Amino acid sequence: MHDPLLKDQLGAAPTLTAPALTAAAQAFQTRRLADAVWSEMQVRGIVPSPRNFTLWFTYRSGSDPRLNRRMAELIGRAQPIAPALLDALYQDCLASGEDLTGASIDAAAEIEAAARTLIEQLSGSETALAGYGDALVTAQRDLRSDRGRDDLLRAVAVLATETARAAERNRLLQQQLASSASRVGRMRQALAAMKAEATHDALTGIANRRAFDTRLRHAIRQRSSQPQALTVLLVDIDHFKAFNDAHGHRTGDLVLRLVARVLASNVKGRDCAARYGGEEFAVLLAGADLEAGGVVARQICQELSSKRLVEGAAQGALRITVSIGVAQYGAPETPTALIQRADAAMYEAKQLGRNQVCLAPPPAVGRSPSSPTGQVRSNPDGPAAAAPAPSSETGGPPP
C-alpha cells in the first residue's frame, strides 16, 4: 500500500546529484580522518598546535610521500617525538615562509614611518612657503604704495629677511628629504633581502621548496597559453643519514652545498634547482621532455659520482652519489601528482641499487591499458634497462 502523504513528502525532497553525493562523502572522510588524527595525537602526547595538527593530518592523508617516509622513521624509533623534531619536519616539508611575517611587518612599519615623515616635512614646507608668499604680497603692496624712503627701506629689509628664512628652510628640507630617502633605500634593501630569504635555502643558496612549488605551479599554468614540455627531477643523496652520523653535520653541510652547486650548474634560463627538504633536491626543466630530463639527470649523477670530498687525511676522500627520479608533466595532472610520480621513480632508483636514474611512466589519465607501465632506469656507469613500475608503498626508500 502506498501512502499518498509519504509520496508527496518524498516528491518534495531535494534531488541529490552525483557531485553533491561526492562532496558529502569527501566531507565525511575528511571529518573522520581529522577525528582519527586528533585521537592519535592525544595518545602519542603530541602538543595539539595548529602546526602539529597540519603535519599529522598531512601525514595520515598520505598526500606527501616525503613527509610520510620521515614521519614513519620518527614513529619507528618507539620513543616520544620531541617537539623540536616536529618543528624541523614542518619547516622542511610544509613551511611556506610564514616565519618571515613578523620581519615583513617590521619592515613595512619602517617604510610607513619614513613615508609619514616625508609627508610631514612636505606639509611643513608648504606652510612655510605659504607664509613666504604672504610676505611677498605684503612687500609688493608696500613697494607700490606712495610711501616715503624709510618705509620702502623697511619693506626691502622685511623682504630680504623672509627670503633668507625661506632659503634656510629649503636647505633644511633638502637635508631631511635626503635622510628620508636614505632611510627608504635601506628599507627597500631589507625587503629585498627578506624576499631572497623567503625564496632561497640559507645553507645552499639555491631556491627553497616554497620557491620551487611556486615556479612549478606557474609553469603548469603557462602551458595553457604556451604549450611546452615540462619535466621534474627529484634528487636524493644516497646514504646521507649514515654519512652524516659517521662524519658529522659540518661535513654533511659540505655535501649538501656540493650537490646544490652541481644542480645549479646543470640548469639554465627558466629552469629551477631547489633544496626540497633535508637531503632531497628538486629540479624543474622548462621545455624539456622525459628523454631530455633523463640526459640531464644522468649528467648530474655522473658529475657527482666523479667528485671526491676530502674530509681528512685519516678518512681520505669521500664519494658522493645520488638517486634521481624523472617525471614529465602530463595534463591535466596536478603539481602534487607530478611530484609524486617523480618521487616514486626516485624510490625505484634507490631500490635498484642507488647512484642511478629512473624515468617515471606517464600519468594514468589518458593512458590506454596496452601502454607500457614500466620505467626506464639507467646507471651512469652502464646502459639503460627496463624496470618495473614504482612501488605504491608509502614507507621510506633506502636512505
Name the residues annotated as catalytic: 279
* Grid cell listed for 6: 509519504
What span, in angstroms and rounded, lies between the C-alpha atoms of 338 and 212?
13
Amino acid identity, position 240: F
What span, in angstroms and rounded, lies between the C-alpha atoms of 46 and 38?
9
Label each residue of the chain as H, E or C. Answer: CCCHHHHHHHHHCCCCCHHHHHHHHHHHHHHHHHHHHHHHHHHHCCCCCHHHHHHHHHHHHCCCHHHHHHHHHHHCCCCCCCHHHHHHHHHHHCCCCHHHHHHHHHHHHHHHHHHHHHHHHHHHHHHHHHHHHHHHHHHHHHHHCCCCHHHHHHHHHHHHHHHHHHHHHHHHHHHHHHHHHHHHHHHHHHHHHHHHHHHECCCCCCECHHHHHHHHHHHHHHCCCCCCCEEEEEEEECCHHHHHHHHCHHHHHHHHHHHHHHHHHCCCCCCEEEEEECCEEEEEEECCCHHHHHHHHHHHHHHHHCCEEEEECCCEEEECCEEEEEEECCCCCCHHHHHHHHHHHHHHHHHCCCCCEEECCCCCCCCCCCCCCCEEEECCCCCEEEECCCCCCCCCCCC
Handedness of CA 38, 39, 40, 45 (dihedral sign): positive
Q: CB-side exposure of 169: number of CA atoms within 13 Å?
A: 18
What span, in angstroms and rounded, lies between the C-alpha atoms of 161 and 169?
12
* Grid cell listed for 18: 552525483
Cell 645520488 sits on residue: 322
